[in-house]
Structures are given as C-alpha cells and as structure tokens.
Structure 1
Amino acid sequence: MALTAVPYGWSTLTPLPLAALLLWACTPTAPRAVAARLFWSLTAFFSIHLLFLPLSFAQLFGVVGALLFPALFVLEGTFYALLGLLVARLTPGFLGRVWGLAFGWVILEWLRHLGPFAFPWGTLGYTLLPTPLIQVADLGGVLLASLLVTSMAAALASLARREARPLALVLPVWGLALAYGLTRPEPSPPTHRALLVQGNLNPLDKVAGTADPLPVYARLSGAAAGTVAVWPETAISDRDLGRLPDQPLLIGVARPAQNRVEAWDGGLVGAYDKRRRVPFAEHFPLRAPLAPLYGWVFRALGVPDLTGLLPGRLDRPLTLGGVVYGAYVCYESVFPEIARGLVRKGAGVLVNVSNDGWFNAGNGVAQHFALGRVRAIETRRYLLRAGNIGVTAVIDPRGRVTQALPIRREGALQARFAVEEGQTWYVRLGDWPVGVLALGLLGLVFARRGVKRTPG
C-alpha cells in the first residue's frame, strides 16, 4: 500500500492493497487479533511511506536524527489498531468489520487533521490525484476522495467473500465521480505574473547563522523588477529587512518566535503568521518540565537550544498591486482549512512559501508537493509555490502543474496565473458534511451488527 501512495503515478491502485489489508485484518474472530494485524500493517505502512524522514535526518544529524521517528510510526499504527479494536468489538461479522473500518478510516483521517499534534500524511484521498476523480475535492475536500478509496476497497474485500452487491453500489458512485471530474470547466486563462524565487540554500547554514541569503534572493529577483517576487519560507531574517530590493515582495521571514510571510512594497504592507506549527520542531510540548531531555536531543543533533514558535495571530490575506494573495507557510499546505479560510476571507490566488531543504533523501519533497496541489482543487484557485530547494511551481485550479523549476537548483520562475472568484462547496462547508456522512454510515454498520454474520 505504501508503494501505491503519493507521489506515484499509479497511486489510484491503492484500493487493491487496501482491500487485501481489510480482508486479512478482518478475518480473525478475536477483536485483539484484528487490532494487532492493523497495528503491524499500519506501522509498516508509515515506516515505508515516511522513510524519507529518518533517511533525511540521518544525513543531516547522524544516527540520532534517524532514531527520532520510529516512535511516530508506532503511534500511527496504534491509532489504526484502536480503530480496529472498536470496530471488531461492535461488529462481530466479517462484512460489518470491513465496512466499519472503511467508514471509520475516514473519520480517523479527519481526526488526524485536528489538534496541535495533527499529522495528516498518509491520507488516502490524495491517491486519486493522477485521475479526474480527485476533482470531487471541490465538493467535500480530500476526505471525500478518501471515502471513495475506502469504499471501493471494502467492496473489493466483500467481493472476495462472494458478496457482489456492495461493488454494484460503489461502481456507479465512482462513475459519477469520474463524470464530475471530466466535466469540470477549464480555469480562467492567466492574466497576471509573479516571480517565484528558489534559492537552493542549506537550511542548517541558516540555523547556524553562517549564511547570508539576501544577496542570493535579491539577485534572482532582479530579473523581473516591478513584478511581485515570492521568496520561500524563512528566506531571510528580520535583520535583513532594511536591505530589501525596491520591488513588491512576498517574503518568508524568520522573526523571533515567529514564522511569517510579509508583503512589502516600499514598506511593510501586511503579514501572515504561520499557525500550524510542526510538532517537536516548531512547538515543543512540556518544554519547561522536559527541558533536560530536550537539551540532550538538541546537543545530540548539534543544533541550538530551540524554544519553538509562538502561535500565529495574523491570518488575513495579503494585498499587493490590487491582487489579494492567500499566503501560508510550508507544513500548512497539508491542512485544507488553512487555504479554505484564506479564500473565505477574499483571497483570489493562493501562495505557499516552503522550505523542504530538510528532505535530502527519499521522496519527501515530491510527497509534500503532491499533497499541497489538492488545495488548488478544493478552492478552485491558482496556487503559486516558492520552495527553497523546490518544488517551485504554478498549479492551476484543477490541480495541474503548469510551470515548474527543477528541484535543488537555484532559479527564478516567471509565473503566470489568474485571479479567481467565487467559493466552492468545500470552501463554504469544509469537512463537516463528509465527516458527518462517514459517522452516519458507521452508525448504520454498528446498528446492523447482529443482522448478518459471516463465519471467520
């Protein structure tokens, strides 16, 4: 299943291994056996899917960097094991367990988007990105796509037990979703320009204070004087603001305890604060009582004694040259409510400044980029992405990459885009309709738990 996840072009095949997983996990009679099979399966899934994390941090920080992540993989496996235990206890029959897991899986993904420790990597809806099916995201977000995936997997698992009726119901739904995706109108043709700048700088040098990134970004931005230039996350620090070039800018700025996007045009026009902070990187739970432990980890990694970022308070779109930009920062690209909220406040184009320079091994850069593309579909907005090492690109409102720079190479992209208006159903309603639908369907499964039993 990990090998059919994003960013692979064949990721739409995910219902096949997921069906095999559901078939295998739901076969035992004992609920604890169901939970155990889900625990080991999903721990393995996240270990493979997120392998870029220990590989990249081992390159940057040595063995200690790699040892930070197994606990994350086990934690994710535990979430799915608890889901399996709940479903297996409430639905003794095989088919009830399969469908309970299919609907419960979407609810769990919804929960994994919420709270200060949210980490929604592995959301199954993204696997539909290579197909027109992903266009349903403007109706119910990526979770609606997840419901399509898990329902198809459950139908295939049911078919393996010679129960064809679920597949007969799911196939028409997939057909309707495909027809919807194929008939979406083309976006507005590009009418505006921006310059997306990719500095390709080592993030450790910036943390250590041994880099001077401003001359690099100023030189690359000089190719389009007068055009809005977009610089990546933490491209410069607040100490560099007095030396900015004389042109409109959207800049990732590292201020004390703040990670910001600032709009400049002869002076500060506005700012947006990063609100979704990366757990254990930008905010540290129990920082004071666990100070000795944190101190040991920081020394082992060879980084300064980090204190984290303050919660962001500035969350309005930024206006330059009459264009309203919905700007957000790096990790926030995997949280649909961030882009959705900015569009609700008037953003006509999305801007994601990022720094994936920490990912030097595996496919983490491509994964992060693929997840963020769905924000363009959910909101039907052009998305301008400026990354330190990439991916620096333009994504149109159908999620297609229209322009891009090669990764890990210094450059500047003359981006072309249009300013869109209106609000999709997803922008208006968010995740609640799909969440409530999944809860209702799960409730129906539990209500029918004694109606039909299949020997296991």
Structure 2
Amino acid sequence: MLFKWLAVLVAGAAMALLVPPFDFGGLVWLVMLPLMATLWTLKGKRAGWKGFGYGWLAGSACFLITFHWLTEVTGVGWVVVALYLALYPALWGMFAATWGNPWREQENRSESGIEKRMRERTGSDLRPLRDSMRSMGFAFALAGFWCGTEWLRGWVFTGFGWNTLGVAFHRTPVLAQSADLLGICGLSFLPVFFQAVLLQVARRLFLQARGERRGLRIDFGVTAVLLALAFCYGVWRIDQIGGRDGARLKVLLVQLNIPQEAARRLWTPEEIHMGYEDETLKALKRIEEADAARIDEEMVEGGALELSTPDWIMWPESALVGRILRIEDGSWGTWGENLETMGRVMDEGEFTLVMGLNEVEGEVMGEQMVEKAGGRIWNSLVMFDPELEMQTFRKRHLVIFGEYIPLVEQVPLLQKIYEQQSGAQYGGAYSRGESLEPLKAEIDGRDVGLIPSVCFEDTVPRLMRKFVRGGPQLILNVTNDGWFKDSPGAAQHFANARFRSIELRRPMVRCANTGVSAAVDAIGTTAHPGTGEPQELRDESGNHITRGSLLVDVVIPDQPGWSLYMLIGDWGVIGLGVLGLGVGWRLGSR
C-alpha cells in the first residue's frame, strides 16, 4: 500500500515538473507510468473507488505544486482550487482502474472459438495479434478519456484549464503544431497513448521471458509511426505557415512591473501615470537615436533603410487609474489625468495607443458626463487611433472570486471573505461583455481584424475561436499578473496562452504589467521575423518580472492558415473523450 501511495505521489509531482518554473517537458513521455501501473494492479469490487482515490492523490500533488503561486493572494484558495481540480484526474483514475484496465482478469481469458479454429486451419496463433490490438484499444480509451477530462476541467464552473499535459510542448514547436487539430487538450492524447502502450508491451515482454506469452509488438510499432507522423506534421505546418507574406506591424510594449498586494496597487496614481509617460518617452527617444545613427551609417555605405519607429504603443491591463465613461450613444469621456498622459505620448508621433482600462456606464446630466447610478462597469481593452477615435472590447470571461462573486448578494459573508483574502475593498462585480466582433485597424495599408482578450481570456480557446474571421487577423492581449508577484504564475500564463496562435493560426501581441510581454507568431514561437531573436521582454538575467520596454515586429499574414480546431472547436476533443469512454466500456466489460 505504501509503495502505491509513493508511486502515485511521484507521478503527480512529476506532472508538475512539466511546466514553468521547472519546464522539464521531456518527462511528458514518462510521468503517467507510475500512476498507470498502480491503477492497473487494483482488483476487487472497490477497484473503481480506489482508482478514484489514487487519481485524486496524484492530481492533488500535481496541482498543489503547480499552482502554489496562488498563495501570493490566498492560501485557503490555493488548497481549495488544487483539491477541486484533482477531481478530474480522479475521474480518469476510476476509469483506468475499471473499464480502462488492460490487466484485469479478462485479459487472461482462454482462446476464443474463432481463434482456435483459425489456429487449427492455418497453424497460426492469433493470440499475440489479439494482445497487440487490445493493447492499442485500451491505450486509445485511456488517452481519449484523459483528453476529455482535461476539457471538462477547462469548462465546468467557467473552467480553469491551465497546464494540461500538452502544455509541456510549449518550448517544442514541432510537436506543438498538432494543437491546431483538436486544441491544446487534444495534444495530450499522444503522450498518454504512448505510455499506455509502453507499459503493456513491457508487461508482455516480462511474461514472454517467463515463457507465459508469445511476443508480437505491433502496438509498439504503430505508436512509433504515430510519433513519426506527429513530428512530420509539425515540420510540414511550420514550413507551410511560417513564411507567409503579410502586413508588418511594429509595437512598443511598455511594462512597469507595478507592485501589488492582491488587487491593491502600491503606487499612487501620480506614480503610475508618470511611470507610463517616462518609460514610453524614454523608449521612443532611444529608438529615435538608434534610427538617426543608422541613417548616418547608411548615408556613408548606401543601401535601403527601414526605420524602427513603432506604429503602436501598448500598455497592459488597467494601465491608467482613470476610467472611461461610455454613454449609450457611443460618445465617451475620461479623467483629465488620462488625457494628459496620453497626450504627452501621442505628441511624439502618429501612434495608435492600446491599453486596458476600466469602462463605466455613464450618462449626461446637463452638459456634463457623470457615472450612471447603479451603472455597469467593464474590464476593457481600449484602442485610440492618432485622432483619438476609440474602440473598446469588454471582457467576456470573468474571473470567479476575482471579478465577480457568485451569490454575493444572497450570502454577504462572501464579500467579507473576499476583502480579507484580497486586501482590497469589494467594489461590486464587473459586468460581462457581450460582443464577439473583432476590433478593426488599418495596418500597412490593409484592413486587419483584431481578436481581443483581457487577462487570462487568452488561455480560453473556445472563446478566442469565436472571433476568427477570414482575412488577416492579430490576437491582442492585455494582462496583469501582478497579483502573484515574482512567481511562476506569469510564466505559466504565457506558456498556456501561446497555444492560441497555433490553434487559430494567428499571431499574437501581449502586454503585461508584472508578466510576460511578448510577440508570438502563427506557429507559436517568439522569434523575430527577420533576426530570429526571441521577442520577449526580459532583464539581463532573463527574468520577465522587470520594468522596461520592448519593440516587437509582427507579420500578420494576408492569407492566414486555417486549422481543424478553427472549424470544429472543442467538439473534436469532446468526441474523443466520449469515444474513449465507449471503447473502454466495450473492452473492459467483456
């Protein structure tokens, strides 16, 4: 019993090592083996409940390690979230110990009548072939059902689908390309399938060495072919998607790394506004001086010259303190301090300014705009063109207990718990945005659609997919991971988010306050389109928790690639989960 507990805990801890800050992605091909071996040795009528318990234990170990950064805000929440998320591996554990268990007594059943007659007529023993086919059937069932539980985790109660097994490939572009088939959850299929086959083949080899079983390992050969196909598919997609022509966009990302205590920012409004002004103007000055030096050099040497002046300036979520007042007819106003900060920056050139701001429902009283009594408030991504024409996207996927509290009106105690845990006064819930229309911009002479997202919406593929349209498109994200300080939370956020570019085959630009500010191309890498250098804002030591700016260069393909995930969405992985369950029931109930 103790050995089984240790094996399960090792499996759960190893799963946590797949993602930042550890990033031992290669372990994804091995981490399930101790858990599978334990679950498949369970016997008796209570095997299912034992499997549920072992799966929950492995999941708890994984998520308590993986999401330890939640303790920066709430220790209680960290434990509750981890133990809740562990229920999904527990469901898989129950399945793997029963219907999905290839080591149950049924495997040792006697030779069937059909097999006996075939052996007598042909002299061939079909049992080794049967074993290989059965092995692949169970492997499919286990892998498909695992993918289904990962999807379920990202959907129930609005979902928290971070750090699926497939996220282990976030630094392995070739294997990551298959995410455009069934999404990030579908990317977990092959590692689970591989390990299920590997463990069954190992057992057959052991029995063969004892003379109890003949050897035939077609299942292992098929698995090797699947791995080769996944690799070849990735190479082909990178070649097909990576070199497309399109609009060029230069964006200056500005990150202040404003310190926070949960929701409460520790800088004064004046420090915040002056910080964005100073950091942006300093970066523009540096770019101007670099361009001037290059002009002088080219005048001596001759040749074409491309200046580095940015087209856009981008600030993160809830960047400025003042809110946007939005009237029903579409007119708007904002605090004078906002206009002053924006004006000082936009005086330096013809820039489009993108940032996150709080947007409040307003009304006109007399000749003055005021906040509407009881009006709604939205967490918005806002775009200002050089003439200060404004577009906004209102966040749709709100964070539970962060941006809204269920039943808070009926249970006032929940408000007190929020204030105690966050260190900030509860000011009411944000309203959910309704629009699914992309924003619009003219970039490099082309009309480009903008897929907007705020905060962790860029980790919700089913939402992002709804904004996909034909023609050139760019994913935008403004975020603030400052709640979690210098923790792995921001790196995990980015590791999950970059798969949206692969699933949707659209590049992404994201700007964070404490977080990862970066540009991602349509194959999921941060490589500069010209130099190949990573376009991620980091300090000299490589830490992304820093203050600074980064000029990124993005190619927005005129004819973006299409993907199976764009066409069918989550229905593919849902079907995979249901099919896995059905195959397991069919095999396991014989």
Q: TM-score, normalised by structure 2?
A: 0.70
1:140-195 residue CA offsets vs partner (Å, 9 max, x unmatched): 22122111122122222323322744333222111101011122222336722111
Q: Which is worse superposed, 12-21 or 327-336?
A: 12-21
Match of 1:234 among 295, 309, 318: 318
Label 1:3 to 1:444 Cα distance change in 2 as closer, same or farther (>3 A).
closer
**Separation in structure 2 between the aligned mates of residue 182 and residue 412 of structure 1, nearest angstrom:** 33
- Structure 2, unpaired ranges of 5+: 1-13, 104-134, 206-216, 285-308, 324-334, 361-376, 528-534, 539-543
Partner of 1:414: 551
Partner of 1:211: 269
The alpha carbon displacement at 1:207 in A equals: 4.9
Tell me which amino acid in the other structure corresponds to 1:24.
T
**Separation in structure 1 between the aligned mates of residue 589 and residue 254 of structure 2, nearest angstrom:** 60
Is the 2:258–2:513 contact (alpha carbons within 8 Å) kept by the matching residues of 1?
A: yes
Partner of 1:384: 509
The reply to whether residue 103 of structure 1 matches residue 144 of structure 2 is: yes
**Separation in structure 2 between the aligned mates of residue 371 and residue 354 of structure 1, nearest angstrom:** 14
Is the 1:42–1:76 contact (alpha carbons within 8 Å) kept by the matching residues of 2?
A: yes
Label 1:157 to 1:4 Cα distance change in 2 as closer, same or farther (>3 A).
farther
The reply to whether residue 331 of structure 1 matches residue 456 of structure 2 is: yes
Q: Which is worse superposed, 38-47 or 300-309?
A: 300-309
The reply to whether residue 293 of structure 1 matches residue 401 of structure 2 is: no
Alignment of 1:365-376 (within 5 A): 365-376=490-501
Alignment identity in percent?
27
**Separation in structure 2 between the aligned mates of residue 241 and residue 144 of structure 1, nearest angstrom:** 44
Partner of 2:381: 261
Label 1:28 to 1:192 Cα distance change in 2 as closer, same or farther (>3 A).
same
RMSD between aligned residues? 2.5
**Separation in structure 1 between the aligned mates of residue 234 and residue 181 of structure 2, nearest angstrom:** 11
Partner of 2:198: 156
1:394-452 residue CA offsets vs partner (Å, 9 max, x unmatched): 1111111221111232222111011123332222221212321332233122112234x
The alpha carbon displacement at 1:46 in A equals: 0.5
**Separation in structure 2 between the aligned mates of residue 97 and residue 136 of structure 1, nearest angstrom:** 22
The alpha carbon displacement at 1:206 in A equals: 5.3
Label 1:13 to 1:314 Cα distance change in 2 as closer, same or farther (>3 A).
same
Partner of 2:36: 22
Label 1:200 to 1:92 Cα distance change in 2 as closer, same or farther (>3 A).
closer
The reply to whether residue 169 of structure 1 matches residue 222 of structure 2 is: yes
Alignment of 1:55-454 (within 5 A): 56-57=72-73, 65-86=74-95, 88-90=97-99, 93-94=102-103, 100-131=141-172, 132-162=174-204, 164-183=217-236, 184-185=238-239, 186-188=242-244, 191-204=248-261, 207=265, 210-212=268-270, 213-222=272-281, 223-224=283-284, 227-236=311-320, 237-238=322-323, 239=335, 240-243=337-340, 244-245=342-343, 246=346, 247-256=351-360, 257-265=377-385, 266-299=387-420, 301-322=422-443, 323-344=448-469, 348-402=473-527, 403-406=535-538, 407-420=544-557, 421-422=559-560, 423-451=562-590
User: Secondary structure of the equivalent of 1:191?
Assistant: strand
Is the 1:382–1:397 contact (alpha carbons within 8 Å) kept by the matching residues of 2?
A: yes
The alpha carbon displacement at 1:208 in A equals: 7.1
Q: Which is worse superposed, 403-412 or 233-242?
A: 233-242
Is the 1:133–1:181 contact (alpha carbons within 8 Å) kept by the matching residues of 2?
A: yes
Is the 1:260–1:271 contact (alpha carbons within 8 Å) kept by the matching residues of 2?
A: yes
The alpha carbon displacement at 1:68 in A equals: 2.1
**Separation in structure 2 between the aligned mates of residue 28 and residue 310 of structure 1, nearest angstrom:** 49
The alpha carbon displacement at 1:97 in A equals: 7.0
